[in-house]
Amino acid sequence: MAKQWNTKVTPEHTSQGELITTTVETVQAGLIGGGRWGQVLLRNFRRLTSVPLVVDPRASTLKLQQEFPNLSVTPALDRFLDDAALSVAVIASPAETHYDLTRRCIEAGKDVFVEKPFTLSSVEALELVAQAHLHNRILMVGHKYLFHPAIHRLKTELDRGTRGTCQALVAYRLGWGATPDGAGVLWHLGSHEVSIFQYVLGQIAHTAVAMGVSILNRKECDLVTATLTYPSGVMGIFQLSMSHPEKVRRIIAIGESTAIQFDDLADEKLTKWGNLRLDPARNFDERTGVLEGGQTIACGHEEPVFEECNHFLACVRNRIEPTGSGEWAVAVIRTLEALSESLRLGGQPVPV
């Protein structure tokens, strides 16, 4: 992981009362993709630096000029690429466009923040990493959970090993609706679990298994169950669904005698249980499980998206490799590719 640093910021407000945080060394950025997530990134980057231009061909994004002062919206990508004053590209376009847009921005001399998934193939991802090195550009992929204070604390707990060796990570990311841009539930939602597991374990999976079913979406699986096996022997199991009536965002780290749960929808994000054991009884049928605790673990309340935007800009200023670098994200893409192949093969194990 990249070294830590302090960023001096001063709070300001626009005439409309919008809070802005201005960095000491301001860079100017352009946003490519003004959809729902693009607007989230726009709001966060504008708290940190100048973002005067949005590139989006859809007429509906013109309304952004009413919400954000001093903002221009254009369908012309070349207007951004040819503007040397805009040294940073923030890409939040459909996943299938990430490779071409990132490549063109790097070749135009821009540092690039591109939303996950990085690309839809590891070959393309590796090429972009090589291009970033060739042109001496900062390249970061937006995996927001790498900046979530509860995920940081979960990793700290696992690294310490004070609650026993982690045996398994079990995650549920469920909801109702459609995946955007035809990405499919595995690439749209699963990239979160793959990146979180890779981060908290500090390992890349070596075997992938996935099975799925199409319920609402006949073109793509919208319910997927996956298992990843890691070099340490830890198993990472997750279920993804866009056909579930209840929204669930939960990860449980199960140790030898303890468990820690991350619930992204709860007020208190982390809960721990201790002394997991079977109550000794006369015969197996009478044994009952025992849990102690249900105690919350304190963690910070930083905003993950704001923190990742701030981190990226600090890396741009200091010319250092970011957390969530292109190289790091290549491993996520390779894992997703292996899961996709296993899904295609009906659940056969596939090496990563």
- pLDDT score of 14 more than 50: no
The rounded distance, in Å, linking the Cα atoms of 307 and 146 is 10
pLDDT classification of 18: cutoffs 50, 70, 90: very low
Q: Could you write out the DSSP letters of every residue in 142-190?
A: E-GGGG-HHHHHHHHHHHHTTT--EEEEEEEEEEES--GGG-HHHHHTH
Q: What are the Cα distances from residue 336, in Å, to 195, 251, 282, 348?
A: 10, 19, 47, 14
- pLDDT score of 343 more than 90: yes
Mean pLDDT confidence for 280-295: 57
Q: Residue type at 316?
A: V
The rounded distance, in Å, linking the Cα atoms of 67 and 64 is 5
For the chain, percent of residues with pLDDT exceeding 90: 73
- pLDDT score of 92 more than 90: yes
- Strand order through the sheet with 72-74: 72-74, 50-55, 28-32, 88-91, 111-115, 139-142
Q: Which residue has the tokens 């994200």?
A: 329
Mean pLDDT confidence for 337-351: 97
Percent of the chain as helix, strand, coil, to the nearest 5: 35, 30, 35
Give the domains, in start order, of the chain with CATH numbers: 9-143+304-325 (3.40.50.720), 146-302+334-351 (3.30.360.10)
pLDDT classification of 288: cutoffs 50, 70, 90: low
The rounded distance, in Å, linking the Cα atoms of 316 and 140 is 10
Q: What is the pLDDT of residue 9?
A: 34
**CA pseudo-torsion sign 188, 150, 33, 100:** negative
Q: What does the pLDDT look like over 170-205, one tens digit per residue?
A: 999 999 987 665 568 999 999 999 999 999 999 999
User: Phi, psi at residue 329, to the nearest 5°?
Assistant: -70, -25
Hey, which of 160-164, 277-281, 284-288 has the most confident mean pLDDT? Answer: 160-164
- Strand order through the sheet with 350-351: 288-296, 270-279, 259-263, 243-255, 166-176, 235-241, 223-229, 207-213, 350-351
Mean pLDDT confidence for 324-345: 98
- pLDDT score of 225 more than 90: yes
**pLDDT mean across residues, the chain:** 88
Q: What does the pLDDT look like over 73-88, one tens digit per residue?
A: 999 999 999 999 999 9
